[in-house]
Amino acid sequence: MPSRVPSARAVIRRVAGKPARVVASGFALAIAVGTILLMLPVASEEGTATGWVAALFTATSSICVTGLIVVDTPGHWSMFGELVILGLIQVGGFGIMTLASLLGLLVTRRLGLRMQRSAATETKTFGIGAVRRVVLGVLTISLVVEALTALALTARLVAGYGEPLGRASYLGVFHAVSAFNNAGFALYSDSLVGFATDPWICLPIVVAFMLGGLGFPVLFELGRHARRQQHRWSLHLRITLGAYAALVVVGVVAVIGIEWNNPATLGQYEAPGRLLAGFFQGVTPRTAGFNTVDVGAMQPASLLVTDVLMFIGGGSAGTAGGIKVTTFALLGFVMLAEARGEPHVHVLGRKLPREVHRQALTVVLAGVGLVLVATLALLLLSSFKLDAVLFEATSAFGTVGLSTGITGELSRPGQLILVVLMFVGRIGPITVASALALRERGKRYDLPEERPIVG
């Protein structure tokens, strides 16, 4: 009796039907492989085996494109170790964008059928062709942006800093990949503090991590329909661009305003340098993870603003982490409609389905709960103050990589908490949102309604 081979469409639906299990297993396997490679003596500068906690932490931070470190990247790791980290970053970023885009595509198609869209949309199949287009699109965008950024950085390092071409090319490629994937790993012990006033280094990196943070669906739609009138852009595109831009402005204005006269951060530079460093530090909480000022010397108000921005993160189906700017914006529209007493939520000329309200609320509350529990645990396991511990936990959950400098000083249990936080923070929002949407189903009955007191 011949064996039955499942079709590509059947396999895709079967895999996407259990997104949490599939995504978590894939990332866990990659982390395990990375940990083993980083524990090898050849991976360290001294030629000795690295402890399993440091290797596990670095592998998780790399594959989850976070950037938090417990050992100095250029000082501890050999070129082999750095290349392992670079490979993990690339695999993690590409996998995140691809998986999130595929899950989003599946969710859109399934919900589209349920909402009885046009017959043309309903009859489209989710098969191997759609998968190929998504994968090739993500790969093309990633390689093009990374290549252009690497060229710009290499040219500047050669012309402005006298680096040999080979070394400059290596540094350019490493930081370009790290930037586009919002990883935040740098081959300088002080991250990018040494380039704080150099726009030829800072701005290409900013462009790269902002493009990666917007998400593949946004970049793909902008590439195909850049000339289309804005009122014909998709709702997701308009919300993402609007919320992303607003948060960038808030972050930049807050950092520049608070840190302008702080001699340990922006105050040490002339006005043009302050503006550039403040701009960079205001946009890097979009989960980029690079820093051009000493984060540990920032004012508590700046740290709190950065906490909020890191928690929100970047665009969906991109390399940025957090709860995503779309989730944050949608909750804002829900609150506005409730304040106005409107029975439905309307966003930019569209009605928002009620299930989206619940999904957004679930993602946000789950994130808040996770960060609070981790912060409490870290406070009990360390002697650091609340603002530093909260900053560390939020950075790990949002897969940002910014730190006040306490990561390496945490105890082993504390570092393992951050490992779990990075892992869950990376796969959590993607899998929770898609799983909730894919499990949406109707009931043939309802229960009697009773209204409790709220507030």
pLDDT for res 341:
85
Listed ranges 6-10, 18-22, 171-175; the one with the highest mean pLDDT: 171-175
Residue 6: pLDDT band (50, 70, 90) is low
Residue 315: pLDDT band (50, 70, 90) is confident
Which residue in 139, 364, 107, 326 sits closest to 236, CA to CA?
Answer: 326
Radius of gyration of the chain (CA): 22
Q: Is the pLDDT of residue 115 over 60?
A: no
Three-class SS of the chain:
CCCCCCCHHHHHHHHHCCHHHHHHHHHHHHHHHHHHHHHCHHHECCCCCCCHHHHHHHHHHHHCCCCCCCCCHHHHECHHHHHHHHHHHHHHHHHHHHHHHHHHHHHHHHHHHHCCCCHHHHCCCCCHHHHHHHHHHHHHHHHHHHHHHHHHHHHHHHHHHCCCHHHHHHHHHHHHHHHHCCCCCCCCCCCCHHHCCCHHHHHHHHHHHHHHHHCHHHHHHHHHHCCCCHHHCCHHHHHHHHHHHHHHHHHHHHHHHHHCCCCCCHHHCCHHHHHHHHHHHHHHHHCCCCCCCCHHHCCHHHHHHHHHHHHHCCCCCCCCCCCCHHHHHHHHHHHHHHHHCCCCCEECCEECCHHHHHHHHHHHHHHHHHHHHHHHHHHHHCCCCHHHHHHHHHHHHCCCCCCCCCHHHCCHHHHHHHHHHHHHHHHHHHHHHHHHHHCCCCCCCCCCCCCCCCC
Q: Is the pLDDT of residue 242 over 50?
A: yes
- Domain ranges for the chain, please list them: 14-119+129-438
pLDDT for res 429:
64
pLDDT for res 426:
84
pLDDT for res 69:
95
pLDDT for res 186:
95
Residue 250: pLDDT band (50, 70, 90) is very high
Q: Is the pLDDT of residue 125 over 50?
A: no
Do 176 and 63 form a contact (C-beta atoms < 8 A)?
no
Poorest-pLDDT segment among 106-120, 181-195, 326-340: 106-120
Residue 113: pLDDT band (50, 70, 90) is very low
The model's pLDDT over 323-341, given as tens digits with 9 standing for 90+, comes to 999 999 999 998 998 888 8
Do 343 and 419 form a contact (C-beta atoms < 8 A)?
no
pLDDT for res 160:
95
pLDDT for res 123:
28
Q: In whole angstroms, what is the distance from residue 56 CA to residue 7 CA?
A: 37
Q: What average pLDDT is seen over the chain?
A: 84
Q: Is the pLDDT of residue 111 over 70?
A: no
The model's pLDDT over 207-239, given as tens digits with 9 standing for 90+, comes to 999 999 888 888 888 877 665 555 578 888 889
pLDDT for res 85:
97
Q: Is the pLDDT of residue 122 over 60?
A: no
Do 184 and 401 form a contact (C-beta atoms < 8 A)?
yes
pLDDT for res 395:
96
Q: Is the pLDDT of residue 169 over 80?
A: yes
Do 400 and 67 form a contact (C-beta atoms < 8 A)?
yes
The arithmetic mean of pLDDT across residues 382-392, rounded, is 94
Cβ atoms within 10 Å of 196's Cβ, excluding its own: 24
pLDDT for res 126:
40
Q: In whole angstroms, what is the distance from residue 281 CA to residue 290 CA?
A: 8
The model's pLDDT over 134-148, given as tens digits with 9 standing for 90+, comes to 777 788 888 999 999
Long-range contacts of 115-124 (CB under 8 A, 24+ apart): 115/353
Q: Is the pLDDT of residue 432 over 60?
A: no
Three-class SS of 207-224:
HHHHHHHHCHHHHHHHHH
pLDDT for res 161:
95
pTM of the predicted model, to two decimals? 0.86
The arithmetic mean of pLDDT across residues 88-115, rounded, is 63
* Bridge partner residues of 346 (DSSP): 351
The arithmetic mean of pLDDT across residues 283-306, rounded, is 93
